[in-house]
Structure 1
Amino acid sequence: MNLKNYVVHLSLCVLVSSMMYAQDKRLEKADESFNRFAFVDARKIYLKVAESGYESLDLFKKIGDSYYFNAQLEEAVPWYEKLTNNYAEEIDPEYLFRYSQSLKSVERYDEADQIMEKFNTLTGNDQRAEFFMNTRDYLKFIEMQSGKFRLLKLSVNSKYSDYAPSFNNQGQLIFASSRGGSGMSKTVHEWNEMPFLDLFVSDMIQTNGILQTPKKLKGKINTKFHESSTSFSQDGKTVYFTRNNYTKRKLGSNTQGTILLKIYRATLDEDKWTNIEELPFNSNEYSVAHPALSADGKKLYFASDMPDSRGLSDLYVVDVHEDGTFGSPTNLGDKINTEGRETFPYVSNSGRLYFASDGHIGLGGLDVFVAVPEESGALSIPYNVGKPVNSDEDDFTFVLNEDTKIGYFASNRSGGKGNDDLYSFKQTDELITECNQYVTGIVTDATSKDKLVEAEVILMDDRNNELQRTVTDNKGRYKFDLECDTPYIVRATKESYNPTETILATNNVLEYEHSLALQLTEGGLAGKEVKPGDDLAKLLQLQTIYFDLNKSFIRPDAEIELQKIIATLQQYPDIKIDVRSHTDSRADDSYNMNLSERRAKSTIKYIIERGEIDKSRVTGKGYGETNLVNKCANDVDCSDEEHQLNRRSEFIVIK
């Protein structure tokens, strides 16, 4: 290299080095902003770096997250897309979940579902993935659930953020807004560059949900930091509310210097809120927020990321004692909480728990769900409340007056006035809040394929206890209502045919119809001469009842055949049978005799107990290896399949 080229080369190296140094400094500054949740400031730098042609896994993650955590999911899509396309083998599976959620915000549901399938493959035991795999037709259910609310006009929204409505039980609605007051806004919050939130009150017209001009809540609740999400006692004199960690004019933070959220309680003195106190289960190290008081005032629900939470935030409940003290918070468990966000709970007067979640399967972002109280006192699985409350954006802070059917919620959907907007609604129909599954089918002749009219179809539980019974209509059809996630046996019988049955297991899909066609083969005992000594199994053309090696329990395939024996004994109450059980020749003779005796007893017990057959009609005995059906005697080399032919039971007619 000559001197001239060397000088040029050196100059280029210095230039590139300087550019890299400047870029590193910019990213370092952006990371500092990002780590203190100043997402907007961080994003401005990240985007400039990206525009210069720089690419990295970390850069795409943080640009995507800066939009995702500000609920701008549609803006996050291209960055998560770059992330998954360019760094598929390196990204944390959590980014697949975020990408799927973001795709829903632009209604790319097929792609979102494909990403969730990958998420399920990589995580294996993530509850969000499990919910998705169990409710693959979630869009169908949401469509069925939709249309049960009618949106009403509301004119109180500002160009800022308005959300977290709650009833103060004195004819007014309280909500959080960053619109400021008295012509002045609070300090801008770094997270989203919006002014801090205050609590406002608006008189409410009960008949149509219209709100009067809002005013700031009086008293010492509002500060220069965030206040939001309130819940009031039935007499309206006690309020629980969320605030930044700001107590007695002192701002608190966790060990990383982040200011988190706490729940406070205040009491009403004439028309002002006083006696503000923070709740004892708050912490500087995690957030406790969004209180929801039960109608009787005995339980307080809230959201938190305390140490035993499953995800970004979980829902909890704590007992409120008569003297105003509290019990220990309890996590609502895996039925309600996921690895995602469960937040903004609301408890209606009937005890229904409404909340927002992005962990349960919805339309995108946060959706509103409802869990209803069951007879046991537990809460049901959550049900998506459908459109128009839910959309492909964030929908949250749902409240409902069950007497007037008027309610409110917040959303950042397009078409609003501000960052988040309040919406009012009228409930026009009851929500689907139970799992509805069915089985339908047609019973036909297995040979001719003719539809069989008035064939009897019986629904049984997995212990063969009869649950329902019906006959096929003039088109051979039948139908049963089923419970979710439950095993069943469906049996079909008709005179001159052999009975048949099929095992059916329902799933967790909230609204689902199983199709189960049943075919009957000609046979049965109709028109046949039955005499002592006949093998009922052969007359009915049943499969042989086999047992596993050295075992006496009834196998699932044997249960199906035994049910046909039971059906015949029920149809012909005069028949008596003798159960004769046999073994193969392996093991010694005395062992096999004892084993066959156990098999005979096991078979007899099954017929008597499951079929409710009088025990005087069923006798039996074990014969060991004394009646082999093939050459496989002692010391004869036979395959397992050949030996299995001898492990059987016979059903000999004795009357």
Structure 2
Amino acid sequence: MKKRLQILIFVFSLLIGVGSVAQEKRVTKADTEYNEYSFSPAIDIYKKVLDKGYVSADLLKNLGNSYYFNADYKQASDVYKRLIDDYGKEVGAEYFFRYAQTLKSLGDYEGSNAIMTKFSEITDNDARASGFKEEKNYIEDIKKNSGRYTVKPFKFNTSYTEFAPSFYKEGLLFSSDRDTGNLARYRHTWNSKDFLDLYDTNDSIVNKLGKEVNTRLHESTSVTTKDGKTLYFTRNNFKNGKYVKDEKGVIRLKIFKATFVDSTNVWSNLEELSINSDSYSVAHPALSADEKRLYFASDMPGSLGASDIFRVNINEDGTYSTPENLGSNINTEARETFPFVTNEGVLYMSSDGHPGLGGLDVFATNVADGKLNGSVVNVGEPVNSKMDDFTFIFNSETKKGYFASNREEGKGADDIYSFIENEPLLLDCHQAVTGTVRDKISNEVLVGAAVKIIDENNTEISSAITDSSGAYAIDLDCNQGNFVRAVMEGYVPAEEYLGKSDGKAKIIDFYLERDKVSGGYGDDLAKLLQLSTIYFNFDKYNIRKDSEIEVQKVIAAMEKYPSLKIKVNSHTDSRGKDSYNLWLSQKRAQATVDYMISKGISKDRLQGQGYGETKLINKCSNGVKCSGKEHELNRRSEFIILE
């Protein structure tokens, strides 16, 4: 990057002389400040160079990023717009994403969606792009979750910075720069240089933790064990009282551990966790309810984005297991950070990779029992806003919690807010489905009918049996599409498809049709017309060429008798899963009906029903060895006269 800028400036110097030398020095100095994540000085220098008329893609990238990571989204948006307008073909997809994020933070959701559409078009296998495509109505989804919290400012906020609350005894620990006067505007970057310290409060007074924990360096996010004896917290990487930089000149973050000694009333036995590194950051500790797992944020090798959520097991001897990345369902190519885990195993975190309102939003997902594939839910307003919302903690018993935000109405750069949860957040989406199953003709209730939940892969998930009143009750996962199917011996199965939903209860009443219908010319039109059996190839549902002529005979009969209505019954052999065969037979029935409709038969004169392997015409049931010809006899369609 630096070399490209120097080449550009050298070309300019041939045209305008020595004036560009000063600009080169300014850009070089700005690059140095930028590479060290010292954004405020970098902004000043880049602006001066830009005001002089010297511009490049790299300069705009660095200036836009300086504003972006400094949470100045208005300025960042203006710079990113110019970058994409002038150098759109040169910049990577990440700058489209950040531009979309700034627009979202400014409340321009339409503009943000337009840029995200472009972002999606130029990225491959990016979770943020696929998530955007799947959840284009995410603002409406967020609104559904909004309004569940009552929020008010923390009583100890100042004109400085307060953030990173954590539960401690009867009160809180939190991080602040109130004694240094330095605004911690870079808390979301990996090498914050402002001198933050840890404080505790019991709702009446604020105390600064002792020098054993607080140093002239930066201490922030923390968590303690329930007994208040062990403290984990984040601090700048340093040795022998000096900052330690990695090979890129970045000062990383590390997690430290301390023990409280009652006899001396101080924190002691300070030690650095073994999962730390001088090459990447490990920060923002959180403990599971049983305190046997430590969750944290890191950009260590194997991370999917700028920072991911990881966890380790805390062994009985005090050592730690190999860090486990929580995976692509939770982590994205952007920032996931500031984890917190409730007693019920709900993980709260901040992210700008999942669909949100702007900046960092707070999200929740269920990680109980090792589960990592549950829905990731935006907790909605008023916790989330157009700005950055982070360090969320929650007591699920009292329904009270805290979080931090840099929203405009705050006193300082960041402020802590308390909240009360008035309605629970629905994570794993469960939908209750109830109803009755009845005979379609007599309206009598059917006792002992099976109601099954079949997912979109035709896998049976669960089932229920109707009681003495023909009623059933069953739950399904409303985060995915499902078929609700009613089955009864002697009746044709019926089903209804339910797509993804908000989980509201659903009533589905089934009226089943008997599987034998008499009337007209008799039950079987095939016998009347002396048709050959309509066969299908193994595992296929398209009409075979040798069967088309037989279907044409049925079509001819229906053309001759306009009042004739028929039902196509299709069957499979016994090979394969029963549920799959039922699906395949339905496809065969529908293929036959569709073929007849394509030849001019009105669809209101046709019905189709699949029976799977439930009506075999020979001995070839499950486990019975049969020849291919014997199995073929069961892969057939029949025609039943309805009228």
Same fold (TM over 0.5): yes
Q: Please tell me whether the aligned partners of residues 400 and 419 of structure 2 are also in contact (alpha carbons under 8 angstroms).
A: yes
Q: Which amino acid aligns with 1:372?
A: N
What's the CA shift for 1:356?
0.8
CA distance in 1, matches of 2:270, 2:369: 37
Aligned to 1:24: 24
Say if 2:262 is the partner of 1:235.
Answer: no
Deviation at 1:577, TM superposition (A): 7.3
Residue matched to 1:289: 283
For residue 533 of structure 1, report the CA deviation from its aligned partner: 3.6
The Cα offsets for residues 539-558 of structure 1, whole Å up to 9 and x where unpaired, read as: 743288899xxxxx969664
Whether the 8 Å CA contact 1:245–1:260 is kept in 2: the answer is yes
Structure-1 residue corresponding to 2:587 = 560
**Equivalent in 396, 406, 409 of residue 403 of structure 2:** 409
Aligned partner of 2:298 among 298, 304, 307: 304
Cα displacement (A) at 1:286: 0.3
- Checking the alignment, whether the CA contact within 8 Å between 2:360 and 2:388 is kept in structure 1 is yes
Residues 40 and 193, structure 1, Cα contact 8 Å, conserved in 2: no
- Normalising by structure 1, what TM-score? 0.72
1:196 — aligned with what? Answer: 195
Cα contact 2:339–2:348 (8 A) shared by 1: yes
Give the distance between the partners of 1:232 and 1:82, measured in 2 at CA: 46
2:92 is aligned with what amino acid?
D
Map of 1:38-437 to 2, 5 A cutoff?
38-169=38-169, 171-180=170-179, 195-204=194-203, 212-269=204-261, 270-374=264-368, 377-378=371-372, 380-435=374-429
Contact 1:320 1:327 in 2 (8 A): yes
Structure 1 residue runs of 5 or longer lacking an equivalent are: 1-11, 205-211, 441-451, 471-478, 548-552, 571-575, 582-592, 604-647
Q: 1:430 to 1:48 in 2, by over 3 A?
A: same
SS in 2 for 1:123: coil
Q: Which residue of 1 aligns with 2:545?
A: none
Distance across 1 between alignment mates of 2:381 and 2:374: 21
**Alpha-carbon displacement from aligned partner over 1:439-485 (angstroms, at most 9, x marks no partner):** 99xxxxxxxxxxx9999997651257884799xxxxxxxx9974246
The code of the aligned residue for 2:315 comes to: H
**Structure 2: unaligned runs, 5 residues or longer:** 1-11, 435-442, 467-472, 535-553, 555-564, 574-579, 591-607, 621-625
Please give the alpha-carbon distance, in whole angstroms, between the structure 2 residues aligned to 1:123 and 1:133: 12
Q: Indicate how the Cα distance of structure 1 residues 377 and 88 shifts in structure 2: closer, same or farther if over 3 A, else same.
A: closer
How far is the alpha carbon of 1:198 from its aligned partner? Answer: 0.7
Amino acid at match of 1:175: F
Aligned letter for 2:273? L
Distance, in Å, in 2 between the alignment partners of 1:252 and 1:107 is 40
Whole-angstrom distance in 2 between the partners of 1:327 and 1:435 = 32
Shift of 1:48: 1.7
Moved more, 226-235 or 53-62: 53-62
Q: CA deviation at 1:84?
A: 1.7
Distance in 1, Cα, partners of 2:504 & 2:84: 33
CA contact (8 A) 1:233 1:295 kept: no
Deviation string, structure 1 residues 23-54 (Cα, Å, up to 9, x no partner) = 22221221111111111111111112222333
Q: In structure 2, the residue corresponding to 1:290 is in which secondary structure?
A: strand
Q: Distance in 2 between matches of 1:464 and 1:562?
A: 21
**Residues 305-333 of structure 1: per-residue CA shift (max 9 Å, x gap):** 11111111111111112232222211111
Partner residue in 1 for 2:632: 599
The one-letter amino acid of 2:136's match is R
**Contact 2:452–2:464 at 8 Å: present in 1 too?**
yes
Partners of 2:71 and 2:185 within 8 A in 1 = no
What is the total number of aligned residue pairs between the two structures? Answer: 548
Q: How does 1:10-21 map to 2 (within 5 A)?
A: 16-21=16-21
- SS of equivalent to 2:164: strand
Q: Name the aligned partner's letter for residue 144 of structure 1.
A: K
Is the alpha carbon distance of 1:429 and 1:107 closer, same or farther for their aligned partners in structure 2, counting shifts above 3 Å?
Answer: same
CA distance change for structure 1 residues 540 and 483 in 2, over 3 Å: closer, same or farther?
farther
Alignment CA distance shift 1:515-1:97 (3 Å): farther
Distance 1:114 1:298, change over 3 A: same
TM-score normalized by the length of structure 2: 0.74
Q: Quote the Cα distance in structure 1 between the aligned partners of 2:184 and 2:111.
A: 40
Q: Does 1:542 align with 2:568?
A: yes
Q: Is the 8 A contact 1:180 1:195 kept in 2?
A: no
Change (3 A) 1:439 1:41: farther
**Closer/same/farther in 2, CA of residues 241 and 112 from structure 1, 3 Å limit:** same
Whether the aligned pair in 2 keeps the contact of 1:178 and 1:194 (CA below 8 Å) is: no
**SS state of the match for residue 369, structure 1?**
strand
Determine the C-alpha separation between the residues in 1 that align with 2:287 and 2:572: 60
SS at structure 1 position matched to 2:232: strand
Q: Secondary structure at the match of 1:363?
A: coil
For residues 558-586 of structure 1, the C-alpha deviation after alignment (integer angstroms, 9 at most, x for no partner) is 4335595556999xxxxx774899xxxxx
Distance 1:480 1:119, change over 3 A: farther
Is the Cα contact below 8 Å between 2:572 and 2:613 reproduced in 1? no
The Cα of 1:279 is off from its aligned counterpart by 0.5
- Describe the SS at the equivalent of 1:542: strand
Name the CA shift for 1:18/1:229 in 2 (closer, same or farther; >3 Å). same
Cα pair 1:186 1:224 within 8 Å, conserved:
no
Change (3 A) 1:153 1:44: closer
Report if aligned partners of 2:310, 2:323 keep a CA contact under 8 Å in 1: yes
- Equivalents in 2 of 1:199, 1:130: separation in Å? 40
- Partner SS state of residue 361, structure 1: coil
Q: Which residue of 1 aligns with 2:523?
A: 530
SS of alignment partner, residue 350 of structure 2: strand
Cα separation, 2, equivalents of 1:493 and 1:320 = 50
Deviation, 1:301, is 0.6
1:243–1:460 CA distance, 2 compared to 1 (3 A): closer
Tell me which amino acid in the other structure corresponds to 1:143. K
Q: CA deviation at 1:93?
A: 0.3
Query: Could you tell me whether the CA contact under 8 Å between 1:580 and 1:650 is conserved in 2?
Result: no
| CA–CA distance in structure 1, aligned partners of residues 108 and 405 of structure 2 | 20
SS at 1:21's partner residue?
helix
Tell me the CA shift for residue 506 of structure 1. Answer: 4.2
> What secondary structure, in the 3-state scheme, does the structure 2 residue paired with 1:541 have?
strand
The DSSP-based 3-state class of the residue aligned with 2:18 is helix
Q: Which amino acid aligns with 1:599?
A: E
| RMSD (CA atoms) | 4.5
Structure 1 residues 122-151: Cα deviation after superposition (integer angstroms, max 9, x where no partner):
112001112222222211221111111101
The residue type equivalent to 2:424 in the other structure is E
